[in-house]
Structure 1
Amino acid sequence: MANQRPLLSMKKTFFYNFFPSKVEEEACKVNNTPHIVTRELVKIKGLYPAPKIDMQNPWQIKKNITHDKIVVGMLMIPFFVMFEYILQYWTLVMAKILENGCSVCVDMWDVTGRDVSKKYDGGSVWLRKVYNDDFALWCIELFRDCGLGDGDEIGLY
């Protein structure tokens, strides 16, 4: 076991283009406009293994439900949490679609002690990037079906 290397995860991160290419630099001079820093979502080989899921307590993301969240049916997921626990398991293409501002339909299962888990599929559950680079998970049907109220907690993994 000691001689085995840990598995390296493939993470998504942003590549920022601070320096214009010669063509971009010339175009800026011709148009008399400043260079605009751009960023692109890329996949890199991680330095650390992916987070291990403790099956006794798998809920990596825990959110307290408030009245406002119930009314709009959305959970806000911070940028770092989204990249650490969700996007690293997605394909780069799907992550770029989400990052570009499109809504992405996702499947979600409710496993709250029922005999049979209930599946909420794309269309009734979706993710979207919001203005401050955080993400919103829209799942109003889950809120209604589970009777979630102010002060309840929901866990995601």
Structure 2
Amino acid sequence: MKKTFYYNFFPTKAEEEEAAKSGSSDLNLPVKRELIEIRDFYPPPEADPANPWKIKKIVNNTDVLTGKLVLLQNDVFEHIFRYWSLDICNQVVKGNKVYTAVWDLTPESNPIQYQNENTYFGKGPRDTYILGWLDVVRNAKVKSRDEVGLYWDQKTGTFHLKILRRGV
């Protein structure tokens, strides 16, 4: 199921009555935003075993120094939230962290799993999201300008990450 934001521009009856009681004819109420599910016309495509990396990103200094990989809202909605329940997505959208596991598949012969307080998924500034990956950065020696690939593996319920290309 796809997730999207529903924007409600109309006040409720109670809000209209409250404005009428206060004598205000101007309803300057904030627009409400709610996360909802919509049915997919087509099921999400299966991951290609040869190239499963749905989200690709060139790492910047902030991603490395803070240990927080910043992801765009569109990527998160298309490639992560689509596989999660609405309840878990709502927790993240409201600012809560969801602790998860990250598999670093960079050493192909010996993948490493990270699962601790530094490994989480949460809301970032503005319309971004954050994957806590501090231990991956330290152990894999991730540097600015490295390209990483990421996807959510719905079979294992974990993130899979790989350094696709080292920066110059």
- Where structure 2 has 5 or more consecutive residues not aligned to the other structure, the ranges are 152-168
1:43-82 residue pairs with structure 2 within 5 A?
43-82=37-76
Query: What TM-score comes out, normalization by structure 1 length?
Result: 0.85
Q: Which consecutive aligned stretches of 4+ in structure 1 deviate over 4 angstroms post-superposition?
A: none
Tell me the number of residue pairs that the alignment of Structure 1 and Structure 2 aligns: 148
Identify the structure with the greater strand proportion.
Answer: 2
Give per-residue Cα distances to partners, 1:85-143, cap 9 Å, x unaligned.
Answer: 00111111110000001122121111123433211114221122123111111211101
Paired with 2:61 and 2:116, the residues of 1 have a C-alpha distance of: 25
**1:100 and 2:94 correspond:** yes
Q: 1:66 to 1:131 in 2, by over 3 A?
A: closer
CA RMSD of aligned residues (A): 1.7
Q: 1:28 to 1:46 in 2, by over 3 A?
A: farther
User: Which deviates the most, 52-61 or 64-73?
Assistant: 64-73
Paired with 1:97 and 1:30, the residues of 2 have a C-alpha distance of: 35
Residue 162 of structure 2 corresponds to: none
Secondary structure of the corresponding residue to residue 15 of structure 1:
strand
**1:35 and 2:29 correspond:** yes
1:1-157 residue pairs with structure 2 within 5 A?
10-31=1-22, 32=24, 34-157=28-151
Query: What TM-score comes out, normalization by structure 2 length?
Result: 0.80
Once the two structures are TM-superposed, the CA of residue 39 in structure 1 deviates from its matched residue by 1.3
Paired with 1:145 and 1:14, the residues of 2 have a C-alpha distance of: 37
Q: 1:37 to 1:124 in 2, by over 3 A?
A: same
Q: Assess if the C-alpha contact under 8 Å between 1:51 and 1:85 holds in 2.
A: no
Q: Percent identity over the alignment?
A: 35
Paired with 1:75 and 1:30, the residues of 2 have a C-alpha distance of: 48
